[in-house]
Structure 1
Amino acid sequence: MTMFDKMDKINNGSKTPKYQQVVNLILEDIESGRLKIGERISSINEMSFDFLLSRDTVEKAYNELKDRGIITSVKGKGFYVSSTNTSNKLKVLLLFNKLSSYKKIIYYSVLETLGEKATVDIHVHHYNKSMVQELLERNMGKYHYYVLAPHFYDEDSHLMDSYDIARQFPENKLLIMDRAVKGHENEFPGVYQDFEKDIFHALEDGIEHLKKYQKLKLVYPRGLMYPPEIVDGFKKFCFYYNFDNVILDGIDAEPLYEGDVYITLAETDLVNVVKKSREQGLELGKAVGLISYNDTPLKEILADGITTISTDFEHMGKRIAELILGKTTEKVSKNPFKMTVRKTL
């Protein structure tokens, strides 16, 4: 192709922006097979010279192609084709801290709301910052949006700050899910839980049911990386409303006591309370109270209905998808949280 042939490829009178014309030209070459995965494309300077375009125009086109995962840059070498998937679908990467029934609810809610407009991939970082950094390096530029659940803990199970990780993501491509970046809540779009306030207000809503019991017991398994703010909110509630209380690491070694309410986070502790209540002949909701953290359909029928305090995971997934699709102007929001009173209280 001669210089004049190349110049003619850019239509100065077109309503399509010049940078988008460059994008379209490269996509055409990929779709026709003239460009294949691993092949080098022209540098920004070369493209600017060949098509008589400014560097800014070409750079904008290349950045869009990088964001879509079509090309990748190799430092000191240039730009290379990294994908032949030229679909206009949005590409989304969910970075969960763990896989659980609750995360599945979020995932399916995201999928349902996005529909055919996006493809969604999942990686699990297991609370590990280094793993997120590795995942980000391998996937930089391949996705339109990255959705991060910033739950990170050190080797001693202490909660770690997540701002240093969050700021490494491409600008305007990161959405925060489930836990806010402390001190930077309004800097990153997303939807989060306020663990301390949530448990305080949920227990407050159920205070008339709690008053018939003598002691509140939070079963908080240490070392399992549950948000420590849950303990803070529980303590504040008990202090403010003058409830006798205790925090347990587990309930395997002790019997249930009449007049106590057990608030369980782990499913194993929930099952143990139900089993022990039957073994000791203590009727749930009368002799002993039981509240489980995080609602599931199973808890509606287990023991004729388990009382729960829970965020709305389906709403969380839907809100994340709405942010991706630009269907909401509320960039940062707290997810709904409530107590659902059933027979065990």
Structure 2
Amino acid sequence: MKGLNIDTGSKVPVYLQIVDSIMAAVRDGGLKRDQQIPSINELSEHYLLSRGTVEKAYKELRDKKVIISVKGKGYFINRTDIVIPLRILLLFNKISNYKKQVYNAFVKSLGDSVFVDLHMHHHSVALFENLINNHLGDYDYYVIMPHFYDHPEEVLRIIRQIPADQLILLDKDLPSLSGNYAAVYQDFEKDINEALYEALPSLKKYENMIFVNPGIDPYPEEIKKGFQYFCRMHDFNFSVIEGVEMYTPVKKGQAYVVIEETDLVNLVKICRNNKLRIGKDVGIVSYNETLLKEILLDGITVISTDHEQMGITAAQIIMDKIPQKVKNPFKLILRNSL
């Protein structure tokens, strides 16, 4: 029998960790029907546990009819037709419409036999560390959006505590992290550059490009870098501004790349107030697709990753039990705002 996942520092009682480990091994095919498992003495000596702890675990397993004891021979797996839900800790940086799309697709793809525990770390390294330390050993998988903007080495140290075969990074990869972990990620700098290149024929009618940097809520810096690289490569005059307020000067011949929806709304209001025609006088490219952008102003041009596919792919990695790194699809949806 493969090693049990025993953590004496966990808040989960050790006897329950033994029960969960053996049942998980049965569920995953590591233990077969009629296969012998270590005796109480052997298990207690190997893991330096009290005999009473192991006895309590084996009693619960016998009560569940997962194991049977055969006099003079030992303990054997009795049944494998048991349903043990996978336990998954899902850690997002924040809640948003896009995150809801990822979550819904992830949960739906996994089905009813999986327990998903959703938490937010709000970009806080301290909160993230607390969540991980308090839940190590409690879950089968840890699915994490590693969007942090301070103390990168601390973040890596915390993540390294998670066994690589239980770790899935979501939305963003961490190249500095070693090990055979899984990831479903965006290549933010490359994605925006390629999407804007696809929109180049429509963008050429504008003299200036403006990137609207989100003010309060941080986004990956690579998005701005990809925008700047595109503009330099294609000889656009460009600038970066911090948010759009109702007093922000908006002029004919400008094309805006907008990340936050509040800035998008303000930009649309300014254009209307100044009788600037969106898609003719002023161009708008919004980041991340939503249903509203399909109909607003008869369609807002969007550059976006496929949030539903991200959730589906992460779920598939768990179901297939094959750790892999998958770049999530990113696309341009060209509409009338450009």
Alignment of 1:254-293 (within 5 A): 254-293=248-287
1:330 to 1:120, Cα distance in 2 relative to 1, 3 A: closer
Contact 1:48 1:55 in 2 (8 A): no
Task: Give the superposition deviation at 1:57.
Answer: 9.1
Q: Do residues 336 (structure 1) and 329 (structure 2) align? A: yes
Give the aligned partner of residue 217 of structure 1. Answer: 210
Give the aligned partner of residue 102 of structure 2. Answer: 106
- Give the alignment's TM-score, normalised by structure 2: 0.76
CA deviations 1:175-206 (Å, max 9, x no partner) are 00011113338742110011111110000111
Gaps of 5+ in 1: 1-17, 24-36, 66-85
Identity of aligned residues (%): 40
Contact 1:19 1:58 in 2 (8 A): no
Give the aligned partner of residue 124 of structure 1. Answer: 120
Contact 2:110 2:315 in 1 (8 A): yes
Q: Which of residues 184, 187, 192 in structure 2 aligns to 1:191?
A: 184
Contact 1:292 1:307 in 2 (8 A): yes
* DSSP-derived class of the 2:163 partner: coil
1:57 to 1:182, Cα distance in 2 relative to 1, 3 A: same
Q: Do residues 88 (structure 1) and 84 (structure 2) align? A: yes
Give the aligned partner of residue 290 of structure 2. Answer: 296
- In 1: Cα distance, 2:12 partner to 2:172 partner: 38
Letter in 2 for 1:115: G
C-alpha RMSD of the superposition: 3.2
Q: Do residues 139 (structure 1) and 135 (structure 2) align? A: yes
- In 1: Cα distance, 2:268 partner to 2:106 partner: 33
Contact 1:48 1:54 in 2 (8 A): no
Task: Give the superposition deviation at 1:224.
Answer: 2.2
Give the aligned partner of residue 71 of structure 1. Answer: none
Gaps of 5+ in 2: 6-10, 19-36, 58-81
- Give the alignment's TM-score, normalised by structure 1: 0.75
Contact 2:284 2:300 in 1 (8 A): yes
Count of residues in Structure 1 that have an aligned counterpart in Structure 2: 285
Greater mean deviation of Cα atoms: 250-259 or 227-236: 250-259
Task: Give the superposition deviation at 1:39.
Answer: 6.9
